[in-house]
Amino acid sequence: MIEDYGYFNTQVGYEVEPVSAKKGKILYRVKTGEPYFLDSIKVHIASPVLDSIYRLNADNSYIKSGQQYNRKNFEKEAERLTDIFRNTGVYHFKKYAINFREIDSTQADHKTDVLLDISNLLFEKEDSILDKPYKISYINRVNIYTDSHLTYKTDGYKDSINYDGFHIYAPKRIPYKPKHFIQNIFIKPGDPYSDKSLDLTRIHLSRINNFKSVRFNYEETEENLLTANIYLTPKSKHSFKLENEASHSNIKPFSFSGIFSYKNINTFKGNELFKLSLQGSLVNSSAYNGPFFNAWEMGVDASLKFPRLVLPFKFKQSFFQNVSPETLLSLGTSFQKNIGLDKQRFTGIVSYNWSPDRINGHTLEVINAQFIKNLNVDSFFKTYSSEFNKLVNINNQYFPDYNMGDPLDFINMVLGDSDFQSNYPEDYATVQNVRKRYYIITEDVFVPAMTYAYTHNTQDGYKDLDYSFFKARLSSSGLLTSALSNRTSITGDKQLFGINIAQYVKLDLEFIKHWELPYENVIAFRSGLGVGVPYGNSTLIPFSRSYFAGGPNDIRAWKIYDLGPGSENTGLEFNVGNLKFITNLEYRFNLYQGFKGAVFVDAGNIWDISSSSLVTEEARFKGLSSLKDIAVGSGFGLRYDFSFLVLRVDLGFKTYEPYRPFGEQWFNFDALKRPVLNIGINYPF
C-alpha cells in the first residue's frame, strides 16, 4: 500500500478509453502528493523496568525524527524491542503490547508526531481484567528429564543428581557425565530469562545427535521466579544400517557393493558418537579372465565425534561453550584386488569444528593424512587401455619394425627421438601425455596435510531461497613431516615408510549467491578458484588432491575428468591440473507441482602451473593469455523435488571448445549430436 510509505493524501482517478465497440481500456491516474515525515517521537512506557531497558537501547531505534514515514520501520522496531525485553528477563512480554500511534497526520508541513505506547501487563483475576508493571523473571531451578517417555513427574525416575544447580533425572542410572552434559545447557539457575539461552540450548542439544526430540516448559513457581523443564527423548543407543548399489564405470564395467554401518551414541557418557562402516564390492573387470566377478574391494572406516574440544592439554571447556565445538577422530583403510592398480589406502583425520553463530563456521584439520600404495603397477596399460592403444597406433604407424614389449621402453625411445619431435609434434605430445598420466596415477604417495577452512552461509533453513555462501580453504602438506623425517631417497627426496612425502600448498575459494524471484523461481550463481603449488619433494600435486573439470556438479557439457588441462584434448581417462577456475549461472523455475526446470551456462577449465617437464605447453597456465582456454557449456535440466532430496537430470552442450581449431571452437550444430547427460542428487550449487 502506498500509505505504508507516508503518502496519506493520495488521490486516485481513472478514465475509460474505448478500444472497440465492446472493449475498453482503463487508465488509472495516481497523484501521490508529498510524503509525510516523522516529527517528534514521544514515548510512554508504563512499567519502570521496561522504560529503563528502553532508554538504554534507544539509540539503535529504527524510527527517528526526520525520517520519511515507513510502516516497515515500525514493524522492525517492535520486533527489536520485543527481542531486547525478552532477552533481558521480561518473560511475560509479548509483541502485541507495543503500539505506535500517529498523533497528527494532517499538519500542513507534512510532518507527523508518533507516540510509542507500551502499557502494563494485563492479567485476569476472578471476573476482572487488571494490570501490573512488568518485572524481570529469574531462573530459580533447571530440571532435565533424560527420558521423556516417562511421566513428567520426578517420582517416575529412579536416579537423580544435582550438579551445579542442574537437577538431572533418569529412569535408571544417569547415562551422561554431568560435567559434559551441562555444557550444552545455556539456561542457568540465577540468570534472567532469555529467549536466546533457550534457542542456544535447543541448538546444542540437537547438534549432538543423541535425541529424537527436545522440548522445553517453564513454570512460574513464585512471582518472577521460573522453573525450566527440559524433556529429552533419546535415540536408540545402538543402530545398524545396510545399503547396497550396482554401478558401472570405465574401470569397473559392473560392480555390486554393500555398506554395513553401526552407530553408537553417547559412547563414553559424554554425548559422543561412534560410527563403524564396512564396505565391500564384487567387480567384473574386463582386464582379467575367470568368473564374472573376478575382482573385489573391501574397506573399513571408524570415526568418533565429541561435542567438545579434545586436546592433549588441560583447558577450560566453558571458554569455548558458545561456539559449538566438535572434535572428530577418523581412521580408514581399503584394499583392492584386480581393480585398477590394486590400491591400498590408509587415511587418518583429526579435526576441530566450531561455529560462533549460525552463519559463520570454522574447521581446523590438524592432520588429514592419506597413504596410497599401488600394488599392481604392471597392470597400468592393461587397465587404461585407451592410453596403451595410443602407443600401439604410433608404434604401427611410425615404428613398424619395433617390437613393443614394455610400453615404458617404447615411451622413452620415442621421447628421446628429437627428429620424431620435430616431424610429428602432435604424436610426440600424445606420448608425453601418456607418460605424464602414468607417473601421476602410479605414484605411491604419503600426504600429511593440515587444513583450515572458513565458511559464511546466510541460508536459514532448507526453504530459504535467497542467500549467499562463501568458503575459503587453505591446506598444506608435508611441511612439518618433512622437517622431522631423517630418511631420504637416492634422489634426496624426504620419505616416510619408504614413500615420498607429498609437499604442496593449496588455496580454494568458492562463492555462491541465490536470488529469489516471484513464484519461488531462483537465479543461482557460483564462482570458484583453486590453486595448488607443489614444492620440495613434489613437482606435481598428488592425483587424489588434484583438480578436475566436468561432471554433473561442475561443467556439465563435459564428462568428469574429460576437460583440460588448458587447450589440450588428450583423450585420456583422467585429466587433472593444479589450477582451476569455474563459474556457473542457472535459472531455476517451477513447472508443475514438484517438477522444476532449469537453463544454465557453465564455464571454466583446469591448468598446470608446475615446473614439471611432463607438462605440455598447451596445458600450462600462461597468465591472461590462457583465458582463451576457458571452456563454455550450456544446457537445460529437469528436476523433481521430493522435499527431502531433489532428483536432477541435466543435458549439457559444448558451447565453446578451446582445444578445437580456430574458427571451429564456438557452438555449431555438430554439438547438438554430442550432448552429455548428467544425473545427480540435489542441486549442483
Tell me: the pLDDT tens digits for 494-520?
A: 777 778 888 999 999 999 999 999 888
Backbone angles phi, psi at 48, to 5 degrees: -60, -35
* Inside any domain, residue 257: no
| Position 154 pLDDT exceeds 60 | no
Q: How far apart are CA 517 and CA 80, in angstroms?
A: 27
CATH number of the domain within which 117 lies = 3.10.20.310
Crossing angle between the packed helical segments 425-442 and 407-415, to the nearest 10 degrees: 130
Mean pLDDT of 545-574: 87
| Position 253 pLDDT exceeds 50 | yes
Mean pLDDT of 126-148: 90
**In angstroms, what CA-CA distances link 93 with 39, 55, 76, 193, 489?**
28, 17, 17, 11, 73
| Position 138 pLDDT exceeds 90 | yes
- In percent, the amount of the chain with pLDDT more than 90 equals 45
* Cα three-residue angle 44-45-51, rounded to 5 degrees: 125
Q: How confident is the model at residue 490 (pLDDT cuts 50, 70, 90)?
A: low
* Inside any domain, residue 314: no
Greater pLDDT, 349 or 289: 349
Within 10 angstroms of residue 340's Cβ, the number of other Cβ atoms is 20
Which of 153-157, 420-424, 533-537 is predicted most confidently? 420-424
* Inside any domain, residue 366: no
| Position 329 pLDDT exceeds 90 | yes
pLDDT score recorded for residue 90: 95
DSSP secondary structure letters along 106-175: --TTSEEEEEEEE-PEEEEETTEEEEE-----EEEEEEEES-TTS-SSGGG-SEEEEETTEEEEESSS--
Least confident of 434-438, 485-489, 558-562: 485-489
Closest by Cα among 374, 340, 684, 370 to 545: 370
| Position 202 pLDDT exceeds 60 | yes
Whether 118 and 46 have beta carbons less than 8 Å apart is answered as: yes
Residues 142 and 228 reside in one and the same domain: yes
Greater pLDDT, 482 or 667: 667
* Inside any domain, residue 565: no
Which of 7-11, 192-196, 290-294, 398-402 is predicted most confidently? 192-196
* 446-472 per-position pLDDT tens digit: 999 999 999 999 998 878 899 999 999
pLDDT score recorded for residue 583: 98
* Inside any domain, residue 637: no
Residues 107 and 177 reside in one and the same domain: no
Closest by Cα among 377, 493, 381 to 446: 493
pLDDT score recorded for residue 247: 61
Which of 360-364, 613-617, 640-644 is predicted most confidently? 360-364
Residues facing residue 582 across a β-bridge: 528, 604
Residues 91 and 57 reside in one and the same domain: yes
Residues 146 and 228 reside in one and the same domain: yes
pLDDT score recorded for residue 153: 52
| 506, three cell numbers | 593449496
**Average pLDDT along the chain:** 87
Mean pLDDT of 77-106: 89
Q: How far apart are CA 447 and CA 370, in angstroms?
A: 5
Report strand pairing: 138-145 vs 225-234.
Answer: parallel
Domain boundary among 442, 470, 488: 442
Within 10 angstroms of residue 155's Cβ, the number of other Cβ atoms is 8
Mean pLDDT of 401-422: 89
Q: How confident is the model at residue 152 (pLDDT cuts 50, 70, 90)?
A: very low
Burial class of 645 by CB neighbour count within 10 A (0 to 12, 13 to 18, 19+): exposed
Whether 265 and 235 have beta carbons less than 8 Å apart is answered as: yes
Residues 19 and 76 reside in one and the same domain: no
| Position 335 pLDDT exceeds 50 | yes
pLDDT score recorded for residue 500: 82
Report strand pairing: 225-234 vs 24-31.
Answer: unpaired
| Position 621 pLDDT exceeds 80 | yes
Q: Which amino acid is at 597?
A: G
DSSP secondary structure letters along 238-303: EEEEEEEEEE--SS-SEEEEEEEEEEEESTTSSS-EEEEEEEEEEEE-TTS-SSSS-EEEEEEEEE
Within 10 angstroms of residue 346's Cβ, the number of other Cβ atoms is 14
Residues 17 and 84 reside in one and the same domain: no
Residues 97 and 162 reside in one and the same domain: no
Q: How far apart are CA 336 and CA 343, in angstroms?
A: 6
Domain boundary among 234, 267, 299: 234
| Position 656 pLDDT exceeds 50 | yes
Residues 164 and 149 reside in one and the same domain: yes
Q: How confident is the model at residue 318 (pLDDT cuts 50, 70, 90)?
A: low
* 586-620 per-position pLDDT tens digit: 999 999 989 999 999 999 999 988 877 667 788 88
* Inside any domain, residue 474: no
pLDDT score recorded for residue 685: 92
* Inside any domain, residue 554: no
Whether 334 and 299 have beta carbons less than 8 Å apart is answered as: yes
Domain that holds residue 179: 138-234
Residues 51 and 118 reside in one and the same domain: yes
Number of domains composing the chain? 4
Length of the chain: 685
pLDDT score recorded for residue 430: 85
SS3 607: strand
| Position 556 pLDDT exceeds 50 | yes
Name the residue with cell 572406516.
Answer: 301
Mean pLDDT of 565-571: 82
Burial class of 129 by CB neighbour count within 10 A (0 to 12, 13 to 18, 19+): exposed
Residues 127 and 159 reside in one and the same domain: no
* Inside any domain, residue 229: yes
Name the residue with cell 619433494.
Answer: 537
